[in-house]
Amino acid sequence: MFLAVDVGNTQTVVGVYEGDELKASWRLKTVRDDTSDDICARMQSLMAMQGLDMSAVHHAALASVVPALKEAWADALCALCGTEALLCTAASAGALFQADYPHPEEIGADRVADAVACKAKYGFPSVVVDFGTATNIEVIDERGMFIGGIIAPGLQTSASTLISSGAQLFSVDLSAPEHAIGRNTREALESGILFGEAARVDGLVSRIFQELGYEARVIATGGLASRIAHLSKRIDEVDPDLTLEGLRLISEADRF
């Protein structure tokens, strides 16, 4: 079996694959002071709860945008799997990730994995919108080349900043209201946050299409994708496991 790990600023997503089948996955809070021992204990517990045998996992791949946790997770995966994990980068993705980009080494590991999986599953041209701590948009052109994208404040990041800055505002549960015009403070906040994010994404994607000179299939992923996709006029598909799938494909290509 294979273990895919995507360490984000807010959440860490872990998936266990048997062949190309995702057997189990977890979306965990990212704990920045985790040690490798903490991670090992947590993973063994999660696997046991799903009736999965940790000793059957023989290889792993890691994408991390949190430098402080990259080493801890790499050490933990090595201890759990008995071999070093593949670290996802533009270089380690090899031929699966072709980029027309000045400095591909600067591209985040999650963005690389998203682009690899999107190209393999949905073809090109295509656009990935990854809803996380940041809202990342990745663009794969009609040649199949990653040409860049957009990084914007994420949905929860924007909401938290707004709410913490307003003395009379309060936390909302990020459920879209029935109407854009809020009839109370909660509805007004929900409208601004949810409809606002969908409109922002649609506007950015429209600008991308203008610059490309053609339209492309738009795939949404990330923990908050399902909350926005049905409000968007541009998103075509929701694929919550896209990053994990990219890690699996990169690891498979590296091994064979």
Bridge-based pairing state of the strands 126-131 and 11-18: unpaired
Whether 110 is catalytic is: yes
CB atoms within 10 A of CB 73: 24
Separation between Cα atoms, residue 88 and residue 70, nearest integer Å: 11
Q: Indicate which residue of 34, 110, 130, 202 is catalytic.
A: 110
Per DSSP, what are the bridge partners of residue 150?
137
Indicate which residues carry an active-site annotation: 110
